[in-house]
Structures are given as structure tokens and as C-alpha cells.
Amino acid sequence: MQSILETAAQAAGTTATLEDRLRQALPTDVDEASIRLWDEQSESLSVRQGQLEPVTNQFDAGVMVTVWHNGGLGYAATADLTDAGLRNAVDRARHWAEVTVDTGVRVEAPTAQSGNYASPVAVEWDEMPLNDRLDLLHRQSALLSVDPRIVASHAGLSRRNVDSLLLTSSGARVEQQFRFVYPSLSATAAEGTQVQTRTFGRNSYCGQGGVELLGHYGFGDAASLVAEQALDLLSAPNCPTGTMDVLLAPDQMILQIHESIGHPLELDRMLGDERNYAGTSFVTSDMFGSYQYGSELLNVTFDPTVSGQLASYGFDDEGTPAQRQHLIENGVLKRGLGGATSQRRSGVDGVANSRACSWNRPPIDRMANLNIEPGDQSFADLVASVERGVYLETNNSWSIDDSRNKFQFSCEYGRLIEDGELTTVIRNPSYRGVSANFWRNLKGVGNADTWKVMGTPNCGKGELNQMIGTGHASPTCLFGDISVFGAQS
């Protein structure tokens, strides 16, 4: 299939390449300007209760023009890639830069560098024909619908290709090619008004690569267990209420990291940009370098270099090269999640994480890959160390205050831990706490065997609103003295 940009080039009837025309459109009489091109193709397949849902394909392309001049900053996004369309967008961005000279937050242009990045792909998506992809989903769907009590099931497979090109008036050029894969499974079991849903990591098995990721994630073998556990939960006892140890699997840890480490460390929250919508942070700029965020077992990295993780990249959307950095080391807060612009505004060290979800939104501070480094305890060691507690898998509900402190999370599946052993399956497990205390109760970190590389495909933030994928990797982790409870029903 021809990309939308090749189509545009043909229709424009010019021999100049699109890149040439974009470069020519960049204004030279301003302090700095950039054009960020985004070309996306996606396919989404879904089988629900044995029936193929409408197949959807998406072709999307456009550019964001940014102009910095005399302290002003302006944006203009357009899908009109003709010379006239690009000129109009440049004029509009220049206009906004003029308007904001005296009315805006003074922002200097970041210094972009040049380079390339491409997702690691072993087996190209198209090497698995559409019929094979559909057959795979139908097989999973059949495995999910093994019992009449399974009242809803879903097997899904999506892929997304994004090619981006950032050009600046200073001469920087960043070209990146992303190939994303998103498999999903779910089964809902019901008896009367008792309803339980179990999923394949609630969409957290996703990353960059090709068909090989399906095998890597174990997608073809997961459906039976998903259905079996949904049925088990129907007759399981409710989660007990009390203060106890909580052992969190990686597919719950990623949510815990995301909500109570990732968002609080975003510099644009601390700068106040997000206070009308996503919120602020209990973390303040004076805490960096000294604040004990968690126990000494807590080591958190911003790591866009993990091969195949959902938010790996070579450069952020301001053109800053991406590097692995420790955000929290031995429990102590080291640096924040903020790109070059936020670092300059706040005076706090950050990372290369100024990102936009598409061509039609300006970049803001986002998590990328935010990972907890593995410790040295095996899963068996962690379980054995618990006298009374619960082991929880897979988030199904999340809520946290606007300062990212008071949270309440629920999981799909739990088991009691009694005298060092995993015992009864429990349903509707939830726990609540306060971020500022919770991580200090980290008392066990699983080793590399328990470490899983996952992601959250839909993180919402920003005004204009933006939905973007973030990567998280984590070992299984043990926390002490946590408030645990179950459902009323």
C-alpha cells in the first residue's frame, strides 16, 4: 500500500521530494522554526464472541509547524502538504508567535540534533497475511468461549506504523520509523449479577517490532488461561479487608509506576501547565537530589533504549537525543521527567521526553519508558517472605488525586498468601494508599526472571488533549502495611 505521503507527492505533480518542499517552507527570518511530519498507517482487527468485527484501516498524515521569534511561540497544524498549504501553516504559526511575544510564557527554542531511529523488526507485519491474522484471532476467540457462562469475549490485534521527520531551520534532521503491535484478549464470565472479567494483561502486552512480538508475549497460548481464570473468579471468595503485605505482578506494577511515579515527576505539572486538567504534583523542584521517594530498594530509570519497548525512540519531538537516566536511585529522587523546554523553565534536570501524540498536537512532557530495575529476589523468595498478604495481577480500575498522592487501584485477579504460600483465588481485590508513603513500604524487589517489559497504550494528558503510549517494565514487587479491601457484592 502506498503511503499517504507518496499519494500527496504524486497529486502535487512536482518532482521535488516532500522533504525538499518542507525544508523550503521553513522560514528563515525568525529565531527558529521547525516542521514535524507525521505519517501513520494502522489496522485494527477484532473478533468478538466468534464474530469478526468491522475491519478498520487508518491513513493519517500532516505536519506541525512551530515558530519561535522574539520570545513568542506559535504552532500551526495542517494536512495540506501542497506548497500553498505549507505556506499558510507557516504564516499562521508566525502570527501566533507574534501574538504571544507580549502575552505568553517566554520560551526559547530547544537545540535539536540530527539522527535516525527505527523499531527493531524481525518479521514484517505483512509477512503474516490477513487471513492468517484472522485465523489466529478466531482460534483465540474459540478458546475464550469455552463455557456458557462466558458472556462476552474479545480477541484483538492491531498494528500501527508511524514515520516521522523533524526538520529545523537550524539544519537539524531527525527521521524515525516506529512499528507498534497491540494484541488483546478478554473474557467476561457471569452468573446472575456476579460478573468477572479477565484479560491478557489489560492491553499492556504491546511494543515495537513485528509479528515476532506475538510469540514473545505468548499471545497464541494465553486465551485458555484468561477464560479459565474468569470462570474461577465467579466462585472465588471476596478479597479480605485489612492491612497486610501486597505482592504486585508486573502487569499491576506498570500502573502503579505510571500513576504514582511517572505523572508526579513530570516537570510541566510542577510548572503548573497541567493544573486545569491533568493536575499538579506533590513533588516540588526543591526535592530533587535529596527526597527519599521510596525505600532503598527502589531504582527507577527513564530508558528509551530498551529494544522493542513501547516508547523507545532515538529523539524526542524537540530533537533531543534520548538517553537512559536514573530518575530514582536507591530510593532518592534524582531528576524529573521534562524535556529541554521544561528543563530550561524549571532549572531542574530532566530527560528527552517532549513528545506529541500526532502531527496535530504540540509536544509536552510525557513519560516514555519508565522502568523499575530488577532486584535480587526470586518470585518464590518473595512469596515465602509473606506471612499474610495478597498477590495481585492486572489492573482494572485506577483513580488518584490531582497531586498524584491519594490513590485507589483494583485488580482483576488475586490470591491469598498465607504463611509463605500462594493459596485461595480471591475476587475484586483493591488497595489504597498515598504515593508519598507507599514506595517507602517497598520491601522486596523481584529479580530479572520476574521482570517484564510492557506498556500502557493510552495515557491521556494535555490541553489540547493528547493520548499517547508509554512503556513500563517492572519486576514483581512486595509492599508492606497496605490497606486492602474487596467489593461490597
Partner 1 sequence: MIDSTYFNELSDGAKKSLTGEEVLLSTFKGESTDFMRFNNGDVRQAGTVTQGTMDLQLIAGRRHGSSSVTLSGDAETDRHRVRQMLSVLREQRSRLPEDPYLLFNTEGSSSFFVGDDTTPAPEDALGHIQTAAGNRDLVGIYTAGSTATGFASSLGQQNWFQTSTFNFDWTFYLRADKAAKNGYAGLTWDDDVFADKVNWSLRQLEALKRPAIDLDPGAYRSYLTPSAMQEFLDLISWGGFGLESHRTKQTSLLHMVDGDATLDASVTISEDTANGVAANFQEQGFMRPDEVVLIDAGAYKDTLVSPRSAMEFDAETNGASSSESPLSLAVAPGDAETATAMERLGAGLFVGNLWYTNFSDRPACRVTGMTRFATFWVQDGEIVAPVNVLRFDDTIYNLLGANLEALDDTAEIVLDAGSYENRSNSSFRVPGALVNNMRFTL
Considering only residues 403 to 422 of the shown chain, the ones binding partner 1 according to CB under 8 A are: 403, 406, 408, 410
Whichever of 20 and 463 has its CB closer to partner 1, that residue is 463
Q: Which residues 2-41 are close enough to bind partner 1 by CB under 8 A? A: 2, 4, 7-8, 10-13
Whichever of 144 and 386 has its CB closer to partner 1, that residue is 144
Whichever of 279 and 321 has its CB closer to partner 1, that residue is 279
- Contact between 463 and partner 1 (CB under 8 A)? yes
Q: Least Å distance between CB 152 and partner 1?
A: 4
Count the residues of the shown chain that bind partner 1, applying the rule CB under 8 A.
86
Q: Least Å distance between CB 25 and partner 1?
A: 15
The CA dihedral of 201, 204, 205, 209, to the nearest 10 degrees, is 170
Q: Least Å distance between CB 16 and partner 1?
A: 15
Q: Answer left, alpha or beta for residue 212, where phi above 0 means left and psi between -120 and 50 means alpha.
A: alpha
179 beta partners = 161
Q: Specify the residue for cell string 529479580.
A: 447
Query: Which of 120, 275, 423, 449: binder of partner 1 (CB under 8 A)?
Result: 275
11: CB partners within 8 A, 6+ apart: none
286: CB partners within 8 A, 6+ apart: none
Whichever of 191 and 449 has its CB closer to partner 1, that residue is 191
Q: Which residues 367-396 are close enough to bind partner 1 by CB under 8 A? A: none
Q: Which residues 197-216 are close enough to bind partner 1 by CB under 8 A? A: 197
Query: Which of 371, 428, 474, 476: binder of partner 1 (CB under 8 A)?
Result: 428
101: CB partners within 8 A, 6+ apart: 69, 70, 71, 72
> Which grid coordinates are listed for 217?
508475549
Query: Which of 266, 273, 317, 412: binder of partner 1 (CB under 8 A)?
Result: 273
Q: Least Å distance between CB 65 and partner 1?
A: 9
Whichever of 220 and 272 has its CB closer to partner 1, that residue is 272
Strands 56-69 and 32-48: antiparallel
Q: Least Å distance between CB 72 and partner 1?
A: 9
Whichever of 422 and 425 has its CB closer to partner 1, that residue is 425
- Contact between 430 and partner 1 (CB under 8 A)? yes
Contact 484, 431 (CB under 8 A): yes
Q: Least Å distance between CB 33 and partner 1?
A: 13
Q: Least Å distance between CB 138 and partner 1?
A: 10
Q: Least Å distance between CB 31 and partner 1?
A: 16
Whichever of 149 and 216 has its CB closer to partner 1, that residue is 149
Binding letters toward partner 1, positions 277-316, x by CB under 8 A: x-xx------------------------------------
Binding letters toward partner 1, positions 333-362, x by CB under 8 A: ---------------------------xxx
- Contact between 62 and partner 1 (CB under 8 A)? yes
46 to 60, 163, 325: CA distances (angstroms): 21, 25, 38
In whole angstroms, what is the distance from residue 193 CA to residue 232 CA? 16
Print burial letters for 290-323: b (CB count within 10 Å at least 16), e (below 16). Answer: ebbbbbebbbbbbbbebebbbbbbbbbbbbbbbe
Whichever of 7 and 295 has its CB closer to partner 1, that residue is 7
Q: Least Å distance between CB 293 and partner 1?
A: 19
DSSP conformation letters of 385-424: T-SEEEEEEEEEEEEE-TTS-EEEEEEEEEEEEETTEEEE
- Residue 472: closest CA among 313, 264, 309: 309
Q: Specify the residue for cell string 499517504.
A: 4
Whichever of 216 and 406 has its CB closer to partner 1, that residue is 406
In whole angstroms, what is the distance from residue 458 CA to residue 439 CA? 24
Q: Which residues 175-194 are close enough to bind partner 1 by CB under 8 A? A: 188, 190, 192-194
Contact 310, 178 (CB under 8 A): no
Q: Which residues 78-137 are close enough to bind partner 1 by CB under 8 A? A: 78-82, 85, 92-93, 96, 99-100, 103-105, 130-131, 134
Contact 354, 315 (CB under 8 A): no
DSSP 286: G
- Contact between 400 and partner 1 (CB under 8 A)? yes
> Which grid coordinates are listed for 210?
513485528
- Contact between 59 and partner 1 (CB under 8 A)? yes
Alpha helices by DSSP H, 1-70: 4-12, 18-25
